[in-house]
């Protein structure tokens, strides 16, 4: 059996170096490395929205990286959450200085995130993952569109707009794509509640049935064919 | 020459047409329902409940642990656990399902219930001719419809059933040994024979 | 041989005045969703000038069931049977892509035999997908029935193999995290080898049917050209990308599974037109047969599943992973975010045929309505995957 060659993805420069090079090339851009603790070791770069276009353009054009293939674009919904942290604080208790563990609660407001997985078809390496975050989950859910740089983001950004409600500024044709145009909510958000009558399941033990009873008359408990015969007899 | 490509294609169709009279590989259609291809042994279609012995309700292996109900991806299983315990086929008091329904209009035959069941109580059936005249209640399989004997299971998938039988027999033997080893064993170990060995001896 | 836009426009505008001719007026036609050539429920709003397409907007969502939301509410294992229903022609590769992503997320090793079985099943899937695609494409061109039936006859043999292994013809639900569900018996492998050995006969026949056929050439050459630059920018993957001459195959680039152990070539096109896309499938079938023959020789004995992986209450560590494979239709990726629970926090499918549709308009502009069918057919879409 031959030796399996190393995956070419590992030949790409480290993410810290990419970060440093972006910051040198795009003045004012603030890049943050988000570590990924899982065995996949796919760390991502959080880029700021103001310079997102320039950073993306640089990533696309830089001869060493040449990330010309934007494979996957997706949204993630992060709800408001509180993070409890145990912090050891030095405190004076009964005249003595002691280390006391204190819990601090930090409120993190919710936001929506767009994630781009970039590969290079020229150099056959990747992925470089870039993320952008919206200011909030309501009116501030706006991000710059990267469709002018990678055409493959066109449908995928439309899909994010459709399912998550992020508005992409500069997208050529931002409409709903999978849901119909009149649909109002954003179904992939974590706090989305489906309307009561969205699915009528005939399972007699499902709570869907309980809710659906308000909209549908109960079906007769007879064989379907019998109801066809009746009008013929009568 | 223009048209030669079409003629070449015609030759292929002619070869296939004539060949279909002689070559079995070129004509694989089966005139269902008069003719039937044998089903492969791994074929699966909708789950059923296995029971040991002759009584379809008393012999159910299911102990209403509800693992399959929880794991079922489309949530088509509905179980109500009994309040009291009843002796199972081996004489051990167990809970049993008071209600066990599978909505086969929702079930997608993914076999996850079979994989997660720790009691070998639910297995995949091979029955695919299930057309009904009514689309709701007729496709809701109750406990009575689902219960099928271990003999049936041995018939439809002999290899799997043999493995399951051996596994259960080994487990029963281990349990019997444990019981015999315990000094305060109230029951004699000989009653705890496995369903397999009991059947084999009868 | 092929019809250029200029000549068609000349045909459109006869020199004689016809009185009430609607000069330059566009007619909007809604093609689909119930249309035999759209392979499901897909709709295109087309603006026509005469017979020439001047604008085309695809409309999606008729088969949308929010697969990703279902995946976020189901356990990791519970999503596996749902992936079968994405691209229902290629459930084995869908299973693999999902299993691969979860294995990346949780750092699971896969036994050697399982990797070989995965390669075998993925290449069998590629064979049957390409065979039926060619049948459908010829069907769209008007070769009604015959090539499709030949393709389905071969596909049937492969589906029988899937059935005898996994229990189901199309909804296989075969792969598990860290391996496969059922072991393949020596008889199964022998039978599969026999079918694969006979497969080139079918490929040759298909080649004789289409390669030199004047009608096929007239309908496909120089129709729906894509430049390599546009294809790369639009994220086109799979045979459609390689038809433009871009050498990019995830099997070679990522080297997932045991693909680096096999010798195979990547067929490349030159013009990026429909004919190249069609031929790409024929050539890839030949390469797949080659991979399968090597795999049958090399497949070792041993366990097929990693015993450390729990079936129930499977919890990957917190983090995220993006795994991708070369599905028959292109790059199929799964993006998972785990919050440490039993179901994924985010479950995303990167469907190849959905993204390949990005440039449908660019390909169709200036061609006739009849060409739209052929171009759409050559993209190879399955609506279960496009709409999810």
The ipTM, to two decimals, is 0.83
Q: Where are the alpha helices (DSSP H) in C255-368?
A: 274-298, 352-356, 360-364
Residue in B69, B98, B103, B139 to test binding to A, most A beta-carbons within 10 Å: B103
Contacting chains of C (3 CB pairs or more, <8 Å) are A, B
The Cα–Cα gap between A35 and B179 comes to: 55
Asked whether residue A7 carries a pLDDT value surpassing 70, the answer given is: no
With CA atoms as reference, report the closest residue to C268 among C288, C255, C249: C249
Window 17-76 of A, Cβ < 8 Å to C: 36-40, 42, 68-72, 74, 76
Size of interface B-C (CB pairs under 8 A): 84
Entry pTM = 0.84
Question: What pLDDT, on the 0 to 100 scale, is given for residue B56?
Answer: 76
Across chain A, mean pLDDT equals: 77
* Separation of CA C143 from chain center: 22
% chain A with pLDDT above 90: 4
> Tokens for C353?
């045929």
- Of the two residues A108 and C287, the one the predictor is more confident about is C287
Question: What pLDDT, on the 0 to 100 scale, is given for residue C125?
Answer: 92
CB C336 within 8 A of CB C347: yes
Question: What pLDDT, on the 0 to 100 scale, is given for residue C18?
Answer: 43
Q: Can you tell me whether residue B184 is helix, strand or coil?
A: coil
At A79-135, the pLDDT tens digits run 888 777 777 777 776 777 777 777 777 788 888 999 999 998 888 887 889 999 888
Per-residue pLDDT of chain B (202 residues; tens, 9 = 90+): 677 888 888 888 888 888 888 877 777 788 888 888 888 888 888 898 888 877 777 778 888 888 888 888 888 888 888 888 887 777 778 888 888 888 888 888 888 899 888 888 888 888 888 888 877 778 888 888 888 888 888 888 888 888 888 888 888 888 888 877 775 544 444 444 444 444 443 3
| Fold type of domain B47-175 | Alpha-Beta Plaits (3.30.70)
Residue in A69, A124, A127 to test binding to C, most C beta-carbons within 10 Å: A69
Q: Do A225 and B134 touch (CB under 8 A)?
A: yes
Asked whether residue A3 carries a pLDDT value surpassing 70, the answer given is: no
CA distance A217 to chain B (A): 15
Beta bridge partners of C309: none
Asked whether residue A4 carries a pLDDT value surpassing 70, the answer given is: no
- For C184, which residue in chain B has the nearest alpha carbon? B42
At C330-339, the pLDDT tens digits run 899 999 998 8
At C84-132, the pLDDT tens digits run 888 888 899 999 999 999 998 888 888 989 999 999 999 999 999 999 8
Q: Do B44 and C167 touch (CB under 8 A)?
A: yes
Q: Do B137 and A225 touch (CB under 8 A)?
A: no
Q: Can you tell me whether residue C370 is helix, strand or coil?
A: helix
CA distance C240 to chain B (A): 25
Q: Do C311 and B116 touch (CB under 8 A)?
A: yes
The Cα–Cα gap between C228 and C269 comes to: 10
Residue in C112, C235, C387 to test binding to A, most A beta-carbons within 10 Å: C235
When pLDDT is cut at 50, 70 and 90, the band that residue A213 belongs to is: low
Q: What angle do CA C134, C138, C144 make, to 5 degrees?
A: 130
CA distance B131 to chain A (A): 13
Where in chain B are the domains?
47-175
* Separation of CA C332 from chain center: 9
The Cα–Cα gap between B19 and B28 comes to: 12
With CA atoms as reference, report the closest residue to C182 among B165, B69, B148, B41: B41
Chain B residues with CB under 8 Å of A223 CB are 133-134, 138
**What Rg value do the Cα atoms of chain A yield, rounded?**
26
Question: What pLDDT, on the 0 to 100 scale, is given for residue A8?
Answer: 46
Question: Count of H helices and E strands in chain A?
Answer: 5, 9
% chain C with pLDDT above 90: 15
The Cα–Cα gap between C130 and C210 comes to: 14
Asked whether residue C9 carries a pLDDT value surpassing 60, the answer given is: no
Asked whether residue C10 carries a pLDDT value surpassing 50, the answer given is: no
Q: Do B109 and C168 touch (CB under 8 A)?
A: yes
Q: Which of C146, C214, C311 sits opposite B115 (nearest CB)?
A: C311
With CA atoms as reference, report the closest residue to B77 among B48, B55, B56, B52: B48
Size of interface A-C (CB pairs under 8 A): 123
Q: Do C311 and B43 touch (CB under 8 A)?
A: no
Q: Do C235 and A71 touch (CB under 8 A)?
A: yes
Window 9-38 of B, Cβ < 8 Å to C: 9, 11-13, 15-16, 25-26, 28
CB C101 within 8 A of CB C323: yes
Chain A contact present for C188, CB below 8 A? no
Chain C contact present for B160, CB below 8 A? no
Give the C-alpha distances (Å, rounded to integers) separating C282 from B23, C126, C135, C204, C243.
24, 11, 11, 9, 12
CB A144 within 8 A of CB A171: no
- For A223, which residue in chain B has the nearest alpha carbon? B134
Give the C-alpha distances (Å, rounded to integers) separating B56 from A149, B100, B149.
66, 13, 7
Chain A contact present for C106, CB below 8 A? yes
Mean pLDDT value of segment A25-40: 83
Chain C residues with CB under 8 Å of A76 CB are 337, 345-346
| DSSP per residue, B141-171 | E-HHHHEEEHHHHHHH-HHHHHHHHHHHHHH
- Of the two residues C168 and A222, the one the predictor is more confident about is C168
> Tokens for C243?
């038809």
Q: ω before A207 within 30° of 0 (cis)?
A: no
- For C155, which residue in chain B has the nearest alpha carbon? B28
CB B60 within 8 A of CB B69: no
Q: Which of B101, B134, B140 sits opposite A223 (nearest CB)?
A: B134
Chain C contact present for A195, CB below 8 A? no
With CA atoms as reference, report the closest residue to C286 among C371, C344, C199: C199
């Amino acid at each position: 059996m031959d030796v399996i060659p190393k995956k070419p993805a590992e030949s790409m420069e480290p993410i810290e170096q990419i970060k440093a090079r972006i910051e040198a090339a795009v003045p004012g851009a603030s890049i943050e490395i988000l570590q990924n603790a899982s065995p996949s070791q796919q760390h991502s770069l959080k880029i700021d929205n103001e310079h997102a276009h320039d950073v993306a353009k640089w990533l696309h054009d830089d001869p060493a990286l040449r990330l010309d293939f934007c494979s996957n674009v997706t949204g993630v919904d992060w709800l408001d959450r509180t993070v409890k942290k145990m912090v050891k604080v030095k405190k004076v208790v009964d005249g003595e200085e002691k280390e006391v563990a204190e819990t601090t609660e930090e409120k993190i407001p919710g936001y929506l995130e767009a994630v781009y997985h970039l590969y290079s078809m020229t150099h056959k390496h990747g992925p470089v993952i870039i993320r952008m975050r919206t200011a909030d989950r309501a009116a501030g859910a706006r991000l710059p569109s990267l469709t002018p740089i990678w055409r493959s983001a066109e449908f995928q950004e439309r899909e994010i707009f459709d399912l998550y409600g992020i508005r992409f500024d500069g997208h050529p044709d931002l409409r709903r794509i999978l849901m119909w145009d009149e649909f109002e909510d954003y179904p992939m958000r974590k706090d989305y509640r489906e309307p009561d009558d969205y699915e009528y399941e005939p399972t007699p033990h499902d709570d869907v049935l309980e809710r659906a009873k308000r909209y549908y008359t109960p079906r007769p408990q007879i064989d379907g064919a019998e109801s066809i015969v009746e009008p013929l007899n009568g | 020459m223009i048209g030669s490509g079409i003629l070449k294609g015609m030759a292929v169709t002619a070869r296939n047409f004539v060949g279909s009279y002689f070559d079995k590989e070129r004509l694989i259609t089966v005139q269902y329902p008069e003719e039937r291809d044998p089903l492969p042994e791994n074929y699966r279609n909708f789950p059923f409940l296995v029971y040991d012995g002759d009584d379809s309700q008393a012999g159910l292996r299911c102990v209403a642990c509800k693992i399959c109900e929880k794991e079922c991806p489309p949530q088509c299983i509905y179980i109500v656990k009994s309040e009291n315990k009843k002796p199972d086929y081996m004489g051990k008091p167990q809970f049993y399902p008071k209600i066990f329904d599978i909505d086969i209009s929702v079930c997608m035959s993914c076999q996850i219930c079979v994989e997660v069941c720790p009691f070998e109580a639910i297995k995949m059936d091979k029955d695919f001719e299930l057309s009904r005249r009514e689309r709701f209640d007729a496709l809701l399989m109750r406990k009575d419809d689902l219960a099928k004997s271990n003999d049936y299971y041995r018939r439809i998938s002999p290899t799997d059933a043999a493995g399951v039988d051996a596994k259960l027999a080994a487990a029963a033997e281990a349990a019997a040994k444990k019981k015999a080893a315990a000094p305060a064993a109230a029951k004699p170990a000989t009653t705890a024979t496995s369903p397999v060995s009991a059947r084999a001896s009868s | 041989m092929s019809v250029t836009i200029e000549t068609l426009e000349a045909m459109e505008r006869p020199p004689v005045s016809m009185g009430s001719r609607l000069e330059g007026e566009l007619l909007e036609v809604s093609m689909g969703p119930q249309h035999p050539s759209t392979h499901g429920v897909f709709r295109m709003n087309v603006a026509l000038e005469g017979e020439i397409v001047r604008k085309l907007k695809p409309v999606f969502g008729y088969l949308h069931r929010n697969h990703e939301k279902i995946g976020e509410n189901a356990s990791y294992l519970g999503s596996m049977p749902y992936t079968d229903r994405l691209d229902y022609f290629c459930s084995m590769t869908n299973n693999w892509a999902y299993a691969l992503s979860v294995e990346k997320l949780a750092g699971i090793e896969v036994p050697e035999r399982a990797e070989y079985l995965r390669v075998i099943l993925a290449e069998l899937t590629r064979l049957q997908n390409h065979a039926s695609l060619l049948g459908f494409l010829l069907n769209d061109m008007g070769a009604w029935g015959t090539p499709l039936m030949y393709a389905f006859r071969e596909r049937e043999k492969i589906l029988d193999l899937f059935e005898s292994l996994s229990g189901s013809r199309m909804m296989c639900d075969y792969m598990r995290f860290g391996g496969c569900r059922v072991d393949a018996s020596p008889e199964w492998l022998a039978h599969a080898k026999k079918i694969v050995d006979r497969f080139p006969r079918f490929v040759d026949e298909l080649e004789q049917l289409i390669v030199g056929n004047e009608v096929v050439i007239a309908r496909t050459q120089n129709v729906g050209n894509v430049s390599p630059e546009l294809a790369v920018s639009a994220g086109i993957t799979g045979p459609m990308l390689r038809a433009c001459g871009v050498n990019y195959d995830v099997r070679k680039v990522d080297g997932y599974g045991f693909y680096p152990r096999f010798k195979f070539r990547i067929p490349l096109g030159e013009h990026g037109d429909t004919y190249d896309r069609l031929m790409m499938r024929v050539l890839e079938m030949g390469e797949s047969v080659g991979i399968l023959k090597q795999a049958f020789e090399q497949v070792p004995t041993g366990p097929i599943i990693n015993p450390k992986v729990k079936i129930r209450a499977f919890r990957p560590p917190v983090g995220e992973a993006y795994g991708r494979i070369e599905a028959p239709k292109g790059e199929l990726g799964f993006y998972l975010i785990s919050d440490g629970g039993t179901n994924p926090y985010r479950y995303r499918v990167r469907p190849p045929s959905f993204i390949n549709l990005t440039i449908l308009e660019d390909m169709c502009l200036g061609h006739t309505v009849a060409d739209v069918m052929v171009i759409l057919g050559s993209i190879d879409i399955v609506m279960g995957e496009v709409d999810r």
